[in-house]
Amino acid sequence: MSRKGEQFAGLTVALVTPFRDGAVDEQALRQLVDYHVENETDVISPVGTTGESPTLTHDEHERVIAIVCEQAAGRVKVMAGTGSNSTAEAIRLTKYAQSVGADGSLLVAPYYNKPTQEGFYQHYKAVAEAVDIPIVVYNIPGRTAKNIEAETIARIGEIDNIVAVKESTGSMDQASQILARSDLTILSGDDSLTLPLLSIGGSGVVSVVGNIVPRDVQAMLAAYRNDNMAEAQEWHAKLFPLCRDMLGLATNPIPVKAAMGMLGRDTGEVRLPMTPLDDAQKAALQQTLTAYGLL
């Protein structure tokens, strides 16, 4: 079965937003884009969860999207985070992303409001009708407080320019239901579940750990595509402790920014209400990075 959204198959990296002295570090952001071009990342996704979008002002949110699209310059696809718990705001952000050249939108489920399933449908329909770019549904009930049920996602997927879902429920059953009921492309929203999701019909990952080791994530995806399951499993096992620390030591993106700081690729600065790792967490992360061979 051919699926919509295959242009977003492979590795999408959920970009961090670099800060320096409390402000967005625009030079560092441009360097991150270049890094992913050099490392042959398929897609970059600015201002999602990992990009600390809830702490950015509206102007900063738009500026980050504009910089990433400008710096990408067609060398890597851009899937911009444009979600909001206000439908009108999501429409405005998605229109803006389209206007500056984004290849697609990553649209998180409206958080805090806890819409009905009909509310979810009408929200995505309204945004999709306002733009021409493809939209990826981002379902992460652990953050948004409510699940978009598989039946609703399949219904949303009947809208022409809604092409994929970033599946962050952790439920293989839900992913299987979506695959069975729709022609949407499914992308893993959890690094540690990428290989299991591929095995049931997923097409890639929106990755946090890809900020640090994009080529290794690509190697796992390539091994799976080439029917080399043993190699894919080896990569999964190697990546797993790093994936676990990125989400387990503290709330994303605190650990990944700390890791990038240790590797000399970011200040590691986060904005309140996010706070830095404590000494014990730093030591654990350092140990994982050393064991991986990065330090």
Residue 95 bears catalytic tag: no
Residues 45-78 have pLDDT tens digits of: 999 999 999 999 999 999 999 999 999 999 999 9
Structure tokens at 292: 């991986």
Residues 238-281 have pLDDT tens digits of: 999 999 999 999 999 999 999 999 999 999 999 999 999 999 99
Q: What is the pLDDT of residue 255?
A: 98
pLDDT at 1 over 90: no
Residue 35 bears catalytic tag: no
Beta bridge partners of 205: 11, 188
Which domains are assigned to the chain? 6-215 (3.20.20.70)
Q: What is the pLDDT of residue 69?
A: 98
pLDDT at 219 over 80: yes
pLDDT at 2 over 90: no
Q: How confident is the model at residue 178 (pLDDT cuts 50, 70, 90)?
A: very high
Residues above pLDDT 90, as percent of the chain: 99
* Rounded distance between C-alpha atoms, residue 251 and residue 33, angstroms: 24
What residues contact 132, with CB distance under 8 A and at least 6 apart? 98, 161
Q: How confident is the model at residue 172 (pLDDT cuts 50, 70, 90)?
A: very high
Q: Residue 48: which region, alpha, beta or left (left: phi > 0; alpha: psi -120 to 50)?
A: beta
Q: Which candidate in 96, 138, 257, 282 is catalytic? A: 138
Q: Which candidate in 77, 146, 166, 257 is catalytic? A: 166
Q: How confident is the model at residue 24 (pLDDT cuts 50, 70, 90)?
A: very high
* Rounded distance between C-alpha atoms, residue 169 and residue 160, angstroms: 24
